[in-house]
Amino acid sequence: MALQGSEAMQLQVSVTLLSNTPVIGYKIDPTVLVNPTENAPPHSLVFTWCRENNICSVHHDKICNIQCTSCVKLNIPIERSCHCSTECYMKAWQRHKVEHRDASDAVGKDSTGNQEAVRKHRSSGSWTDFSNISVLDESAMVVEEEWKVWVKVASSKTYVPTLEDCGFRLRLQSVAVDSSQCIHLSPVNVVVTDPVIKPPSPRKMIRLQKSLNLNHKAKSSNEVVFSVLSYNILADLYCPCSDTFSYCPTWAVAWEYRRENLLKEIIEYDADILCLQEVQSNHFEDFLKPELTKHGYSVMYKKKSRAVYTASKFTYDGCATCYRSKLFKEIMKYEIEFDKAAASVVDALEPEIREKGSIRLLKDNIALVVVLESLQNGSNSDAFQSRICVANTHIHANPNFPDVKLYQVSKLVNGLEKIAQSHIPLIICGDINSLPGSDPHIFVVRGSVNCTPEKENDPLGIYQYLKLHHSLSLVSAYTSFFLSDGVEEHLKKMNCGTKEPVFTNFTQKFCGTLDYIFYTDDSLIVESLLELLDRESIGIGLPSRFWSSDHIALMARFRLKPPSLLGPSPRPLPPNPWPQLAAPEQ
């Protein structure tokens, strides 16, 4: 479509990219604006994506930066005349000058072998004989921009860079066109990106070879095997336009980018059960729910009990639990709002501190608990033996409220203890917002915690109203690295003292472990774990252009122990282990 003169240019096309650094596998979706002049005709937009196509003729893994001018005059193909550096050009000269001689001899004949045509061409003064070039002429080089070759790769507005694009720049041409007359109505807008980069290698599942004797029969095809992912995905409402994540490019913090990146990451993990925290309610309904449903998940969501005012509106975040509908069915669901459950504790306080107690203890955190039954083995004569209970929670974050954290964790575990009486294996996933060795962590993995009432940790004296012991055999899944052989390289990412990952949350202000997958080890076996990240691979902190949350995902693959090892027949599930207004537990 040729231009029809300046009078036809009635429109201006403006194109903006979210990032100027394309990443393999990440869709580029430019923002395109058309500013029309008065009485502009109907038009459409035409897009052309091109990739620079220059690779060093010697070093095929490097981009060329210079080209021999003699080769240009001889029409030697660009893939044989390009070099990545002057040094490369000089070292290749003995071979390269042969290209000149051969090309010169080829030009010396036309397609019919007519030498007379060649003689006239030479005498006209337009011919240069390169056949005798034997001395390296470093001036016979041109800078890349003078001869850059672009290869068309797409004709759509959006483009997903491929492995072929790695290391090369992309160019997007956009123009407004009068469809009826096939003429341009705007100048061609050209945007050139930085070279395309590779994302980090996908995190792999590390199979564990336990050195312990598990004392159970050989694995059976009837055993239930499943994987569970726990991931705080960083709600957009906690990404203000401040310097909270100033180390991360602005475009990489934007939800429009993060949502695609997070979804891609989650789907790649291919977990059977997903426990997601900090899921913004509108983003769940508008994006995550339909996308995860398309990938075969049944989804459920519990929002926090209070909204956050941001961007001129009230917004909720919460927990989402998803499971593959072909592998599980839902038997029972429980929703816990810790502020409502804490009302009875506040009522038990002395009258003069109840108001202060309400402000301190009635936080909006929640938990979502679901009992699932496996469908992996078809109809099961004893369905109870293939049930699991999965708890997904996000505990209060403020480090100045250790009593609130311990209350919420103990309340959750105390209720799960009642479910476990039905002989159902338990898994607890979530952002516990508590470091290894803290009271909540000790309570979970040791079964009790000794809390001497101290003003600093228990300013309201609520510990006396809490049941700070349980009978569950809960273990942190990632401690299994220390019980296995052949995983030494992964132990470098673990804290030998706490037996937990070095970090699951990493920002400029904090680096430590807050996220966990706990399980009952008398009923479940950990077969493999998602490898951890190290600080060096991340850089300054999270989120980043590649990892779109300030937390990392955790994932474990479990095997349900054979029914013969699970104990006596189960009891019916309790109707509600977390009565919202029950009397304080003694």
What is the CB neighbour count within 10 angstroms for residue 200?
Answer: 11
Closest by CA to 515, choosing from 440, 431, 412, is 431
For residues 529 and 573, the model is more confident at 529
Closest by CA to 186, choosing from 177, 195, 173, 196, is 177
Give the up-direction half-sphere exposure of residue 159: CA atoms within 13 A in the CB hemisphere.
26
Q: pLDDT tens digit string along 213-224?
A: 454 444 555 689
The angle formed by the CA atoms of residues 264, 270 and 276, to the nearest 5 degrees, is 70
pLDDT at 121: 39
- From its phi and psi, is residue 167 left (phi > 0), alpha (psi between -120 and 50) or beta? left
What stretches of 391-499 show up as alpha helix (H) in DSSP? 402-420, 439-446, 488-491
Residues 6+ apart with CB under 8 A from 223: 559, 560, 562
List the structure tokens of 17: 């990219």
Within the chain, all domains assigned CATH 3.60.10.10 are found at 224-565
In angstroms, the Cα distances linking 581 to 57, 339, 347 are 76, 10, 10
According to the per-residue pLDDT averaged within each range, which of 24-28, 257-261, 469-473, 575-579 is highest? Answer: 469-473
Statement: 224-565 belongs to CATH 3.60.10.10: yes
Asked if residue 520 has pLDDT above 70, the reply is yes
Rounded to whole angstroms, the Cα distance separating 13 from 86 reads 39
Q: pLDDT tens digit string along 197-248?
A: 998 888 999 999 864 445 444 455 568 999 999 999 999 999 876 678 999 9
β-strands 205-207, 273-280 pairing:
unpaired
The angle formed by the CA atoms of residues 149, 30 and 143, to the nearest 5 degrees, is 25
What is the CB neighbour count within 10 angstroms for residue 181?
Answer: 12
pLDDT band at 487 (very low <50, low <70, confident <90, very high): very high
pLDDT band at 75 (very low <50, low <70, confident <90, very high): confident
In angstroms, the Cα distances linking 461 to 98, 148, 359, 447, 455 are 90, 74, 14, 21, 8
Strand partners, 328: 374
Phi, psi for 412 (deg, rounded to 5): -65, -50
pLDDT at 381: 43
β-strands 317-324, 273-280 pairing:
antiparallel
Rounded to whole angstroms, the Cα distance separating 254 from 466 reads 42
Closest by CA to 231, choosing from 300, 334, 319, is 319
In angstroms, the Cα distances linking 403 to 226, 229, 460, 579 are 35, 28, 9, 21
Cis peptide before 543 (omega within 30 of 0): yes
Q: Cα dihedral angle (581, 582, 584, 586), rounded to 10 degrees?
A: -170
Average pLDDT, the chain: 85
Residues 6+ apart with CB under 8 A from 334: 368, 369, 370, 415, 576, 577, 578
Asked if residue 518 has pLDDT above 60, the reply is yes
Strand partners, 485: 209
For residues 452 and 325, the model is more confident at 325
Rounded to whole angstroms, the Cα distance separating 276 from 230 reads 6
- In terms of C-beta distances under 8 Å and separation of at least 24 residues, what long-range contacts does 131-139 make, across chains too? 131/100, 131/101, 131/104, 131/105, 133/70, 133/97, 133/100, 133/101, 134/97, 136/90, 136/93, 137/70, 138/86, 138/89, 138/90
What is the three-state SS of 338-389? HHHHCHHHHHHCCHHHHHHHHHHHCCCCEEEEEEEEECCCCCCCCHHHHEEE
pLDDT at 178: 87
pLDDT band at 449 (very low <50, low <70, confident <90, very high): very high
Strand partners, 537: none
Least confident of 89-93, 209-213, 301-305, 422-426: 209-213
